[in-house]
Structure 1
Amino acid sequence: MGHPFPIREIARQAGLSEATVDRVLNGRSGVRESTAREVRRAIADLDRQRTQVRLVGRTFMVDIVAHAPGRFTAAVRAALEAELPALHPAVVRSRFHFRETGPVRDLVRVLDRIARRGSQGVILKAPDVPEVTAAVARLTDAGVPVVTLVTDLPASRRIAYAGIDNRAAGATAAYLTGQWLGDRPGNVLTSLSSGSFRNEEERLTGFRAVMRARQPRRGLVETAGGEGLDATQYDLVRAALERDPEIRAVYSIGGGNQATLRAFADLGRECAVFVAHDLDQDNTRLLREHRLSAVLHHDLRHDLREACHAVMRRHGALPPAGPPQPSAIQVVTPYNLPSE
């Protein structure tokens, strides 16, 4: 039972004698299990109190960098700002660097500028490409820890990843799609925002594996490159529908769902099953209107809390811990939408 506290301090916290605490800590006989639990609880309380003392007056400046559609970055901003009070007594100040489109070199410039200027940490959603991996290395060399958010950069020197198990999310989407289609014929359209985001590739891998195992005769039609933006997504989906008259369902990995539904409607086609990701404003409205079958959602507040804690641990403000646990995957339908 390793700890840094004197026996006298533990005894005072637990309301026990020093002799009793000594027996518990040294594993001697004659101690009830309930007493041992009280000693363990006292040590845990002391450790939490020590952590609070370390955090008082600490300010962490964290940069949030994300390459994503505006509806997603708006959700990230709202989730972080809602979570900030729970991080007290530390104070976390944030700078946001959001972009919907643009070349990777522009994103790299932002990361290099942060490395030169300084930061307590970077929370990053970015494509998994060598240029970004190299920029993360430069941030690390400059003493700026990086936590990846929602989509990982496993070959980089990031200190942690905060988000869901994306392969499991894709497998869940395949299970739902297969169950709802049943024995009805029809192919499934899968839609990625691009081919560079690790989370989207992992979701697609999980989806393919389960669909091929459970419904091997059902065709999968893949599109990519819409960047999650309605203007580009519409053209990609419409072209896919015109090429394949058997598409009856959609697994939207990268967003742009309003445009996808519009392409179906403009061609007079039915979308029997539509599974999407994230309860942003667009998806919440579409789900409420019963135009989506289900949304796979996870708690961004949890992700951002874990990311901030990882940064704090790197600076010695919190005790060491293992890697963040993946966020729970929530299946949200029109009938279990959370309140506003």
Structure 2
Amino acid sequence: MAHPFLVKDIAFQAGLSTATVDRVLNQRPGVRRQTTARVHAAIAELENQQAGLDVQGRKFAIDIVMEAPERFTSAVRRAFESEAQTFAPTVFRCRFHFTETMRPQDIVHLLDRIRLRGTDGLVLKAPDVPEVVGAVSRLEESGIPVVTLVTDLPNSQRTAYAGADNRTAGETAAYLIGERFAGAPATVLVTLSSGRFRGEEEREIGFRRVLRERYPSIRIVEISEGHGRDAETGALAGEALSAHPDINAAYSIGGGNRSVLSAFERLDRRCSLFIAHDLDEDNLALLRARRIHFVLHHDLKTDARTAFRTIMLHRRAASAAAGPQLSAVVVITPYNVPD
């Protein structure tokens, strides 16, 4: 297999040993089909990362670990790959570890493996639970900077947080809903992917606080643990709508929005106002079709830039002026969708 990459670089990208990669490259027997596919995928990722980089500068190999639905991780991958090009001649090689759901012990095992193998930095979206916080501490104590992405681990030793102010985002959603109903009774279906994520909890806290203080006539019905997946989230939404016939609006913190809308439609119920988070492909299509009304968006490229700069700063490859910054929360309608 012709390629310009070192075996050790392919092994790093694929998460395999150099011996295994060598067996695949030389087409020796005894290698599973899935392992061969991982090697081919690693080479393709390295080719994508190298494309357009005519000048070679300092190189950083980083790991991005996320528990999130595929529609969101795809957006994150695009943001990191796109933003990496703007740092030339510095080169960022990103290795992605994405899964829709993971047990905390599996996340810890992965983080410990990355720590022992070595990396220039780690970007992490994971639940705020003691086991994960402990793994982050071990990474930091080993000299590996950890940047939490979108959802924070504030009680950990992480180096920085890259993302929006989630409490402000929740407050913004409450304002939009409160002003829409103008003191009239309303009941909002609030959907979380899981109560384990600090970012979602912060959004809900901000949302509840503003409703309680400024719009007390608006009630909340909450569903959680659908993990942003359509089947589980749709089932939970259907149960909530059946039990609460007064629900007439939705604030989706955790995703699965097509399934929530389908639950309204199955019961022949109208959703007068639907607010979602993140301008992924699903939400963009729903917004343009006027099926959801507002998307609270923040630029993932800003988050990627913060992560890259934080790692460079930690490795003394950037000035202190290039430190972290929060992403701005923008209210998106069908008329102001960004490029």
Normalised to the residue count of structure 1, the TM-score between the two structures is: 0.82
* Other-structure match for 1:44: none
1:164 maps to a residue whose letter is: A
1:272 maps to a residue whose letter is: S
Offset from partner CA, 1:284-340 (integer Å, 9 cap, x none): 00000001110000000011111110001001111224752211111001121234x
Q: Which structure's CA Rg is the greater one?
A: 1
CA drift at 1:186: 2.1
2:183/2:217 contact within 8 Å kept: no
Offset from partner CA, 1:225-248 (integer Å, 9 cap, x none): 110000100111011111111100
2:61 maps to a residue whose letter is: M
Unpaired runs of 5+ residues, structure 2, are: 1-54
2:192/2:254 contact within 8 Å kept: yes
* Other-structure match for 1:310: 310
1:59/1:90 contact within 8 Å kept: yes
How is 1:153-172 mapped onto 2 (pairs within 5 angstroms)?
Answer: 153-172=153-172
1:68/1:100 contact within 8 Å kept: yes
Task: State yes or no: 1:238 paired with 2:238.
Answer: yes
1:181/1:272 contact within 8 Å kept: no
* Other-structure match for 1:74: 74
- Cα distance in 1 for partners of 2:110, 2:210 equals 39
* Other-structure match for 1:331: 331
- Cα distance in 2 for partners of 1:57, 1:160 equals 24
1:73 maps to a residue whose letter is: T
Q: Which has the higher contact order (CA 8 A, sep 6+)?
A: 1
- Cα distance in 2 for partners of 1:215, 1:144 equals 45
Identify the range of structure 1 (168-177 vs 99-108) with the bigger mean alpha-carbon deviation.
Answer: 99-108
- Cα distance in 2 for partners of 1:129, 1:200 equals 14
Pairs aligned (count): 285
* Other-structure match for 2:128: 128
Normalised to the residue count of structure 2, the TM-score between the two structures is: 0.82
Offset from partner CA, 1:48-101 (integer Å, 9 cap, x none): xxxxxxx97310001000000000100000001111111112110010000101
* Other-structure match for 1:204: 204
Identify the range of structure 1 (184-193 vs 266-275) with the bigger mean alpha-carbon deviation.
Answer: 184-193
- Cα distance in 1 for partners of 2:76, 2:156 equals 22
2:309/2:323 contact within 8 Å kept: no
- Cα distance in 2 for partners of 1:56, 1:333 equals 41
2:97 maps to a residue whose letter is: H
* Other-structure match for 1:143: 143
**Matched residue SS, 2:128:** coil
* CA gap 1:128/1:222 in 2 versus in 1, 3 angstroms: same
2:184/2:217 contact within 8 Å kept: no
2:310/2:322 contact within 8 Å kept: no
* Other-structure match for 2:24: none
Task: State yes or no: 1:285 paired with 2:322.
Answer: no
